[in-house]
Structure 1
Amino acid sequence: MSGRPLPCEVREIGSLFLFEKLSPEQLARLCREGRVESFEAGPVYTEGEPATCFYVMLEGTVAVFRRVGGEDVEVSRTSQRGVYAGAMQAYIGDRVRQVYTNSVRATAPTRFFVLPADTFASIMREWFPMAVHLLEGLFFGAKNTQAVVGQRERLLALGSLSAALTHELNNPAAAAVRATATLRERVAKMRRKLALIAESPFSAEQLASLIDIQDRTAERVAKAPVLSPLEAADREDVLTDWLEDHGIDSGYQLAPAFVQAGLDADWLEQVAAAVGEEILPNAVGWLNYTVETELLMDEIADSATRISQLVDAAKQYSQLDRAPYQVTDVHELLDSTLMMLSAKIGPEIRVVKEYDRTLPRIPSYPAELNQVWTNLIDNAVAAMRGAGGEGTLTVRTARHDERLLVEFRDTGPGVPPAIRDRIFDPFFTTKPVGQGTGLGLDISWRIVVNKHHGALRVESVPGDTRFQVLLPLTAQESGGAPAGTLAGGVPLTPSEEPA
């Protein structure tokens, strides 16, 4: 934006706190290379545009806005003479993307002293070379520190997730190993039983019937219903009685496997009718091995499937084989994070998913959103554990004001009002020493607000705490902007320091 040009007076410029220590020659150069502009109520400059000027207010009133979720939110308002904003980092040059990091609007007729960004940069380097070096060191030092601290937070989360993943992988792997060893034993017994059957006086028709029953038994195992413990116990009693009535003394040992496989007394009646009473015990023993081998193979298949799902979840969570910025289904991200954290969540905390599957895929940095989900879920679990260990975590998605809402609701004790305004501050934590860095919510806020142009907020009462993430639905709103495009740059009063 450009205002109405006005004469620049050295005396007025020199009366500003920013320039009061400059020499007459320096003030004259400022007036010669800068300008005074008058703005009516309205925009002075807009966030995201190239930062071309450095503004110092001579008189008037300005409001500063930050873009959050596609909306401009007012963050400050001042009439303090001498406050400044705009291209305050021009002295760094092309090493940093030079854009306005906020929007400034005049709320009344306002005059500014305006320096072009290039002039501001050259004056800074020429007049204050040592100060420029110090400012550059502070700027890049703070940036590097933030990156290192953020990386440390990610490594801590990765270590925790790696331990959880190892535990989760160990369970199905151990189950598969146990099932394989048992299966080998059962197959060996099956071979011996086959030898006994071969020596028995089976007719060709009886053998054919037995093989047919074996095939149909295997099919029933695959379709076995899931029974309640009470139903299973009742069926085991019935089968034990049937087997004992037919001269099979080990019926109480065979009944549990038969019930698990979906076999009942009617099925055993069909077996007895097909093979005859004299060879029924050997036939039942043979079918028992068939049932056990099928159940063991199912257990191995389930374990392998679980391992595969965990590996897929780990790949989805880490996004190792995917582009950093892409169009993503948030439900896939949420599911992979919940699976990765399932051991940490534990069985005492119930997880409820309330997904709106009609929501569109959104442009995002999925690996970083997974970090947000991890931080919010971890905090919710910690809150519920601290309040007795049990609770419910509800993960909900919905459309809210043309944005995508992801809500994490827990039944913990809540966030006290006294600290609610501080929970997003860096290094603020309520966890015991050594259990929290105080950076999880700060990093989450930066990822959601700075990187995705979204919003992160909290609503909390005892027994109902909700962290809500609001994300733009389109690339035009989120802009695919790199991190940092919203940081710093508000007009400053004399007591504040430049960002």
Structure 2
Amino acid sequence: MGEETITRTPVCDPGELRTLFLFEHLTDEQLNWLCADGRIEYLEPGLVCREGDPATCFYVLLDGELRLTKLSGGVEIELNRTDYRGVYAGAWTAYLGDKVDQTYSGSVYATRRSRFFVLDASTFSLMMHSWFPMAVHLLEGAFNGNRASNQRLAERERLLALGSLSAGLTHELNNPAAAAVRATSGLRERIAGMRHKLAMMADGKFQPEVLVTLVRLQEEAAAQVAKAPELTPMEAADREDLLGEWLQDHDIIDGWNLAPNFVQAGFDVDWLERVRGTLEACPNKVFEGAIRWLNYTIETELLMNEIGDSTARISTLVNAAKQYSQMDRAPFQVVDLHELLDSTLVMMSRKLGDGIRVVKEYDRTLPPIPCYAAELNQVWTNLIDNACYAMEGRGTLTVRTYRETECAVIEIGDTGPGIPEDIRRRVFEPFFTTKPVGDGTGLGLDISFRIVVNKHDGDIRVESEPGNTRFIVRLPLHRTTPADDEPVEPQP
């Protein structure tokens, strides 16, 4: 109850209770029972009951004024202030017993000296079950039915998102996998060609000192591929022309087809001149064979690089999927928010496509935070998916993080047309959606709200104008204990 001064009096007038809308239809016997089991309390200005504490009392305002608040992002937000006689607060869900968490869902303050009729939670529960058994059964049935159906709908929403992401991941994995298969096949052909040229060399057509020089050039070629410079298309085309002409002038058949490989590896005419000088005393066919052997070396290195890049891409995608799903990890853990955001962006890369530019503005000084990582990834998915839909595949997606007092702030912004004010007020309502039938369930933002607010004691809101819509999520940097592990459900 807090440390406020409480004055108790045994005086409880059944006639006064009858003037309240809650009790106006009760019998004299029931009103007398209430007065016998309840009590009148005078409370000085201050705390009446605190959010999160065990819900032990049901309060009905007789005189005075009270203020109702709710924690959001570690800050108390005032929900209502009223002096209306008969307004109630506290343990009003006591009749549901252990079916719900029996703690105060918000805080109540008296703003001036106020008088309350107070029932213990157990007495209120007994009253409900004794006087309104049919109503209690109906309420319990509606509560359980809504919870079950909402849970199924929430699971369907998650499965729909997971199905979409899985399809995108499959597509993203297929590209590097196919590239690795193609490169492996090409590598096999080039190695076969190198074996053929090596047999020709072993046939005695090369002097030992020339062969030693060729092996050195081969090693130089392999090392050069790893440090080849990045060229613009114009620069690469100019170099290919020069090398192609040089090869043609030195009677290398199909020299134009060899030139791109040498250019990609970073070689120029001067390097080919060195090779030519090394083999100057050899027949021209030997020179051509040496050029092709070096070309096989270059192609082999390029193909191995392609296989390495492809397999690294596959590994990155698999690691992102593991980070996104939090596979084999505890539900509640301390994580780097940026790793979660990056894994979600990787998983959604196909949906982002080529038309949406992603800008990351990360505050790397943010410490790791305690959270339900997999569920936060679902929040990022919902927000990014909505941004992509708003921009219709073209625009800029901005993902920004920064610190604000004791909260980490994550902004997901888009350059879409904006959200009108009348819609903005409803975006977090369950089942509300502006998408066509079949394109959305209207649960994505509702689920996101409950994950952020209910499970993380955070806050989520939207600010929007044409060309600049931002969903702003605030999460506390420090939490002593995790919330319950029940699935997040949309509001009934």
TM-score range relative to shorter protein: over 0.9
SS of residue in 2 equivalent to 1:419: helix
Match of 2:436 in 1: 432
Does structure 1 residue 124 correspond to structure 2 residue 124? no
Pair 1:232 & 2:239 matched: no
Q: 1:112 aligns with which of 101, 116, 136?
A: 116
Unmatched 5+ stretches in structure 1: 489-498
Question: What is residue 383 of structure 1 aligned with on the other side?
Answer: 390
- Quote the residue 1:5 is aligned against: 8
Counterparts of 2:328 and 2:38, CA distance in 1 = 51
Deviation at 1:83, TM superposition (A): 1.2
Which residue type is aligned with residue 212 of structure 2?
Answer: A
Tell me by how many angstroms 1:270 deviates.
2.3
Instruction: Tell me how far apart the structure 1 counterparts of residues 183 and 335 of structure 2 sit (CA, whole Å).
Output: 38
Other-structure match for 1:481: 483
Matches within 5 A, 1:284-363: 284-363=291-370
Match 2:165 to one of 145, 161, 164: 161
1:481 partner amino acid: A
What pairs up with 1:48-447 in 2 under 5 angstroms?
Answer: 48-199=52-203, 201-276=205-280, 278=283, 279-385=286-392, 389-447=393-451
- Displacement of 1:372 after TM fit? 0.5
Q: Which moved more, 1:7-16 or 1:441-450?
A: 7-16
Specify whether residues 486 and 100 from structure 1 end up closer, same or farther in structure 2 by C-alpha distance, changes over 3 A only: farther
Inter-partner Cα distance in structure 2 for 1:128 and 1:281: 100
SS of corresponding position for 2:205:
coil
Query: Take 1:405 and 1:341, find their aligned partners in 2: how far apart are those partners?
Result: 21
Which AA in structure 2 matches 1:482? Answer: D
1:42 pairs, out of 42, 46, 53, with 46
CA–CA distance in 1 between the matches of 2:47 and 2:309? 62
In structure 2, how many angstroms separate the alpha carbons of the residues matched to 1:345 and 1:197? 53
User: Using a 3 Å threshold, how does the CA distance of structure 1 residues 142 and 121 change in structure 2: closer, same or farther?
Assistant: same
1:275: Cα distance to partner? 2.8
Counterpart residue identity of residue 447, structure 1:
I
Partner of residue 493, structure 1: none
Per-residue CA deviation, residues 321-344 of structure 1 (Å, 9 max, x unaligned), is: 110011110000001000000011
Letter in 2 for 1:274: T
Cα offset, 1:486, TM superposition: 12
Q: What is the Cα-based RMSD across aligned positions, in Å?
A: 1.9
Amino acid at match of 1:364: C
Alignment TM-score, normalising by the size of structure 1: 0.94
Farther-moved stretch of structure 1 (333-342 vs 92-101): 92-101
Moved over 6 A (4+): 483-488
Alpha-carbon deviations, 1:210-240, whole Å to 9, x = none? 1111111111111112211111111111211
Aligned to 2:468: 464
Counterpart of 1:310, as a letter, is L
Q: CA deviation at 1:126?
A: 1.8
Provide the identity percentage: 61
Q: Which has the higher contact order (CA 8 A, sep 6+)?
A: 1
Q: Distance in 2 between matches of 1:261 and 1:487?
A: 56
Counterpart residue identity of residue 307, structure 1: I
One-letter identity of the residue aligned with 2:310: S
- Kept in 2, the 8 Å contact 1:450–1:487? The answer is no
Query: 1:420 deviation in Å?
Result: 1.0
Measured after TM superposition, the shift of residue 247 of structure 1 is 2.4
> How many aligned positions are there?
484
Q: Does the 8 Å CA contact 2:59/2:89 hold for their aligned counterparts?
A: yes
- Quick check: 2:447–2:488 contact (8 Å CA) kept in 1? no
Query: Deviation per CA, 1:234-272, whole angstroms, max 9, x where unpaired?
Result: 111121122223222322111101111111222222222
